[in-house]
Structure 1
């Protein structure tokens, strides 16, 4: 149904204000914690001990949101250096082998950097804790399809939609909207997904190669964009496309699979990182 032009204008104004006030991030806190909780449940004994040695009582779910929690930290490290480390850009038709890393770095280069820190016997515990938190976070980010962006719309942040009549963007729908519809805590959601996963899936998804994660995200990303906005009146105005139950029905299973895969891959990656560590 076409919406009255005045209502559309009001919605778009609210959308602009909301976007200006809300920084982009991959998976909301709930999504990161769900995947990190699944990862923790899949760590082997040695890897769990290595993690505890670095983080102490802090669990992976707490660690997973730390890089986003620090985005308002006024330190230049957070305001300038770390900002690009949450995403990569792979235009349509390109694959991970073609990935061009900007001078400021991206999620892929940051993952390599922090992996080297964890494997450096001379790195301080503080540096290793920062590295571990970023690794858990970035691995989750790379499973969110819009954080392997196409380079045209800031990972769906500029693709305006209505979500159950609320003005948001497609990035937010995948960060938060689909997950929040379940109305579960992160442990309840992790329990639900863990019950749904089969041993064969865990084995098939045990993959410590970020290039594979990114390729999967690109394949999904190129399918999740809804039909473009509809014209109003004489065709000079457009309303953002309206998403609700049908979109949630169509895409929640894929979103949940990415959370499951992220959890398995975080565990696989950490086990690979610590495999040759002797102390």
Structure 2
């Protein structure tokens, strides 16, 4: 079912897509945090699809598979990001013809729910859901449409030539010199019950609005970045990783219960019931 939808799309060049969001360490942090917030139904549902594989392990699979030459993966590049020009909301622009992270999230949720879908497709859908939610919490994966999510913004990071997208994907996190288990344990311990409850939001439009608001504040005034830039944005990185983990859990909790998650973004002014 879903395979036929993807194959029918035009082949998309991966070179036009933003780089991997959060890098492997960041994505694994979001998956590990999510594990701690899964309800019983979601925990059972996840285990029923991917067995002993953890959400931390599942979180990076969609990036790893981008090297595949299978038609599905050649068409799946746009599923890692959205484009929202400055001054606009996602509902004003929506998904392009080839799809984006929001349209893919809705399709993958349908596949996970479909008890008649092949197990392999349901596994792929679940892993992609975990990954997409992480992606949408990296501010530059809600790109403004002018610079490929910061990939075209050349900077140096402690003297090394790179780009702004890479700084946010991995450079800042790698600079901590911590494993994903250390980061997720430290961040997870700081999430209060009140914060977790407030962050249990399953509407991707809300996550995107947060990311675009942050995105518009993180473009540096100079190209040489280092300690000052890392210090200024450390709390933002911590918070977005933590929120992504809680929201992966919230989405999966809803997905494996009768109360299905919001998969189509609401228009401005509407509030989540969760």
| CA displacement 1:84-131 (0-9 Å, x = unmatched) | 110000000101221331111110110000001011121121111000
Give the distance between the partners of 1:42 and 1:244, measured in 2 at CA. 34
**Match runs of 1:69-80 below 5 Å:** 69-79=64-74
Q: Secondary structure at the match of 1:168?
A: strand
Q: Identify the residue that residue 243 of structure 2 maps to in structure 1.
A: 261
Contact 2:31 2:55 survives alignment (8 Å): yes
Q: Identify the residue that residue 250 of structure 1 maps to in structure 2.
A: 232
Task: Give me the TM-score of the superposition, normalised by structure 2.
Answer: 0.87
Give the distance between the partners of 1:106 and 1:148, measured in 2 at CA. 10
Q: Identify the residue that residue 200 of structure 1 maps to in structure 2.
A: 194
Q: Secondary structure at the match of 1:167?
A: strand
Contact 2:18 2:141 survives alignment (8 Å): no
Give the distance between the partners of 2:115 and 2:190, measured in 1 at CA. 39
**Match runs of 1:227-238 below 5 Å:** 227=221, 229=222
Q: Identify the residue that residue 254 of structure 2 maps to in structure 1.
A: 272
- The gaps in structure 2 that reach 5 residues or longer are 1-14, 260-274
Q: Identify the residue that residue 32 of structure 1 maps to in structure 2.
A: 27
Give the distance between the partners of 1:72 and 1:271, measured in 2 at CA. 31
Displacement of 1:274: 1.0
Q: Identify the residue that residue 219 of structure 2 maps to in structure 1.
A: 225
Q: Secondary structure at the match of 1:224?
A: coil
Moved >2 Å (runs of 4+): none
* Residue 117 of structure 2 corresponds to residue 135 of structure 1: no
Count of residue correspondences: 244
Q: Secondary structure at the match of 2:20?
A: coil
Contact 2:18 2:81 survives alignment (8 Å): no
| Cα RMSD (Å) | 1.4
Contact 2:38 2:253 survives alignment (8 Å): yes
Give the distance between the partners of 1:144 and 1:92, measured in 2 at CA. 16
Task: Give me the TM-score of the superposition, normalised by structure 1.
Answer: 0.85
Q: Secondary structure at the match of 2:59?
A: helix
Displacement of 1:29: 0.5
Q: Identify the residue that residue 180 of structure 1 maps to in structure 2.
A: 174
Q: Identify the residue that residue 268 of structure 2 maps to in structure 1.
A: none
Give the distance between the partners of 1:123 and 1:72, measured in 2 at CA. 25
Displacement of 1:198: 1.6
